[in-house]
Amino acid sequence: MKRYVAKRILTGLLTILIVFSINFIIINLAPGDPIKTLMGKETDDPALRAALEQKYGLDKPLHIQFVSYLKTAISGDLGTSIIYNRPVSEMISEKMPATILLVLTSGILSLIIGTLMGIVAARKEGSFIDVIFSGFSYILNSMPSFWLGLMLIIIFSSVLNLLPTCGMTDPRTSYKGIAYVMDVLKHMILPVGTLILIEIPLYYRIAKSSVLQVTNEDFILTLRATGMNEKKIFNKYIFRNAILPTVTIFGISLAYLITGVALIETVFAWPGTGRLVLTAINQRDYPTLMGIYLVMSVSVAIVMMLVDILYAVLDPRIRY
Amino acid sequence: MIKTIVNDKQLLFGILGIIALLIIVAFAPNIAPENPYVFGPDVLNKIGENGHILGTNKMGQDIFSMIIYGTRTSLQVAVISALISGLLGILIGGIAGFFGGTADRIVSEIINIFMMLPTFFLILLIIALFGNSIYNVMIVIGLTTWPSNAKLMRAQALSLRERTFVKAATAMGETKGQILFKYIIPNGIFPVIANTTVGMSNAILTEAGLSFLGLGDPNIISWGQMIYDGKSFLTSAWWIATFAGVAIVITVTIFYLLGDGLNHVMNPKHSKGKGV
C-alpha cells in the first residue's frame, strides 16, 4: 500500500514537471520575440538588446532558463498579465471560487444521477426504461456542451422566461444573506444543469456495465442458490462491488470539468476562470492563458492522484 | 460479412450514416441550394423565408448551405487528426509493447502521464499562440490524442509477441522491424481502428469547441463557428446556432455508432454484449 501511494505520488509529481516543461517549450516555440516587443519595432540597438537579454536572463542557456522558470512558477509567480498589468496568480485565485462552485456541484450531482440511472437500467436490462436511458445517454454523449447550454437558454430563458441567462447574480439588485444565496442558486441552475447533462453518460455507462458484470459473476449465482433475498444480494454484494469504478470516473470527470467548464462559463457569462480564458484569448493575453493552463493541469494531476489513491484504499485488489 | 453488419444495429446505422455523410461531402455544391461563401441580400431571414430552408444569418448566408459545406470541414478535421493520432499511437504503442523492457516502461509511463494532461486546454493554448488555421487545429488534435491509441496498441503487441506465429517468424530469422510491421501491427490494429472512430467524434467536438471560443479558422465554414456567430442572435435568430449544433450531434452520433459497432464485431469479448 505505502509503496503504491509513493509510486502514485511520484507519477503525479512527474506529470506536474511535464506540465511545466510543456509550458516552457510552448513559450519558447511561440512566434514573436519578447525582446523585440520590449524594445519597440523601430529600435534595433544591439547594446540595448544585450542589456535586456541580461536583465531577463534570456542570454543564459535554455536549461538554466528552465530552472529559473520552475523556481518562479513554483513560488506562485505566474507572471503578469500584459493587458491588466496584474499578477496572473492573483487574477486566477480571484476567479477560482466561482469555478469550483460550478465544478463540484455539477460533479457530485451528475455522479449521483448518472449512477442511479445506470443501476436502474442494469437492474431492468432490456426494459423500456433501459432503452430510453441508453438512448438518452448516447445522444447526450454526442452533444457539444456549449450548444446544449445555448439550447437550454433558448428553452428556459427566451421561451419560458423562467431562469436568468447569464452571470452569477442579478446586477440590478444587491441582495444580502439568504436572498443572495437564492439569487446565486437561481443563476446556477442552467450552467450546472448543462454540465450534469453532459456528465451523465460517463457515469451511466460505467455504472450500468459494472452492475451487469458483477451480477453475472459466480459468487452472485452462489448467493442466489443459497436462497438469499434478492434485495440483500444487491445492497450488500452487487452494489458495493459495482460502485468502485465510479470512483475513478469521478476523478476523470472532475478533470474534464475543470477544463471543460470554460466553455460553459463562456455561454452563461459565469464569472469564473473560463471567462478569464475567453478574455485572455480575445486580447491575446498569453501570460494569463499560460498561467490558467498551468493551474488547471496541476489541479487535474492532483485530483487524479488523489482519486487513484482513494481507489486503492477502497479496493485492496488494486496494486501495481 | 454483410450478415454481421445487418445483425449489429449500431454498426449498420453507423455505416449507413457514414455513407450519407460522404455523399454530402462529395456532392456539397449540388446539394446546397446556394454558395455559402457568398453574402446574399437576405439578412436574418426566418426559416423558409425567401426560399431559405433554414433561414439566413447576419451576412445573408444560407444556413442550410453552410451546414452542408460545414460537413466537409468537420470530416476533414476528423479524418486527418484521427490518422495522425492513430499512426503515432500504433507506432509508439507497437514499439513499446513489442520490444518490452526499459523502452516499454518509459513509454507506458509517458502514456500514463499524457493521459492525465487536460488535452482540450493544451490544444486551446497551442492554437491561441500559433495561429488558428484549420491545419494547425487538425495537426494539434492529432498530436495530443495519440496516448489512448498507443495504450491499446501496446496491450495488443504485448500479447501478440508471445504467440506462436510470431515466435516462428523469429525462428525463421526475420528481423524485429519485419515482425513488428508484418505481424504485430496488422494483427493488433483492430481495437485501435475502433478507438480511432471515437477519436474522430472527439476531434469534431474539439474543433467545434475551439471555434466557439473564437479560435476557429475564419476563412472556412465550420459548425462550431456557426454556433459562435449564432450566440449573439440567440433570442432574435435562434436558427443560426440551433441547426449547426444538430448537425454536430448527428455526425458525432454516427461516429460513435460506428465505433461501438466495430468494437462489437472485432472484439469477440463484446459479441454477446448488447452495448450500453
pLDDT of the residue at B276? 39
Cα separation, A242 vs B68, whole angstroms? 44
Q: Which residue of A has its CA nearest to B202?
A: A142
So what's the pLDDT on residue B88? 93
CA distances from A162 to A152, A153, A156, A186, A264 (A): 11, 10, 6, 10, 19
Distance CA B77, CA B71 (A): 10
Give the nearest chain A residue to B237 (CA atoms).
A154
Question: Which of the 8 DSSP states describes residue A319?
Answer: -
Q: From the list A138, A208, A281, which residue is nearest B128 (CB)?
A: A281
Q: Look at residue A134 in the predicted model and tell me its pLDDT.
A: 87
For A:30-89, CB contacts with B below 8 A are: 30-31
| Chain B contact present for A316, CB below 8 A | no
Question: Which CATH number does the domain housing residue B91 bear?
Answer: 1.10.3720.10
CA distance A33 to chain B (A): 13
pLDDT of residue B267: 64
- Say yes or no: B133 contacts chain A, CB-CB below 8 A: no
d(CA A125, CA A133): 11
Cα of B178 to nearest chain A Cα, Å: 33
Mean pLDDT of B150-174: 86
- CB atoms inside a 10 Å sphere around CB A148: 20
**Under a CB-based contact definition with an 8 Å cutoff, are residues B258 and B14 in contact?**
yes
Residue A24: its H or E element: helix A2-29
* CA neighbours closer than 13 Å in the CB half-sphere of residue A231: 0
Query: In chain B, which residue's Cα lies nearest the Cα of A153?
Result: B234
Contact A187, A169 (CB under 8 A): yes
Could you tell me the sign of the dihedral formed by the alpha carbons of B246, B251, B254, B256, in that order?
negative
Any domain includes A264 = yes
- Whether A260 and chain B come into contact, CB under 8 Å, resolves to yes
Q: CATH code at A147?
A: 1.10.3720.10
Task: Decide if A147 touches B, using CB distance below 8 A.
Answer: yes
Looking at the domain assignment, is residue A14 inside a domain?
no
Query: For residue A277, what pLDDT band results from cuts at 50, 70 and 90?
Result: confident
- Across all residues in chain B, what is the average pLDDT? 83
Domain that holds residue B136: 2-275
Count of domains for chain B: 1
* Domain containing residue A261: 95-282
b/e sequence B148-160, b meaning 16+ C-beta within 10 Å? bbbbbbbebbbeb
Predicted confidence (pLDDT) per residue in A243-261, tens digit: 888 888 888 888 778 878 8
Crossing angle between the packed helical segments A88-123 and A244-268, to the nearest 10 degrees:
130
Q: How far apart are CA A146 and CA A152, in angstroms?
A: 10
Cβ(A106)–Cβ(A195) below 8 Å:
yes
In a domain, A226, yes or no: yes
Provide the chain B residues 236-275 that lie in CB contact (below 8 A) with chain A: 238, 241-242, 244-245, 248-249, 252-253, 256, 274
Full-model pTM: 0.85
Domain presence at residue A79: no
* Residue A232: other Cβ atoms inside 10 A: 10
- Provide the chain A residues 181-210 that lie in CB contact (below 8 A) with chain B: 204-205, 208-209
Quick check: is A52 in a domain? no
pLDDT at B271 over 70: no
User: What sign results for the dihedral spanned by CA atoms A290, A296, A302, A307?
Assistant: negative
**Amino acid B274: pLDDT:** 41
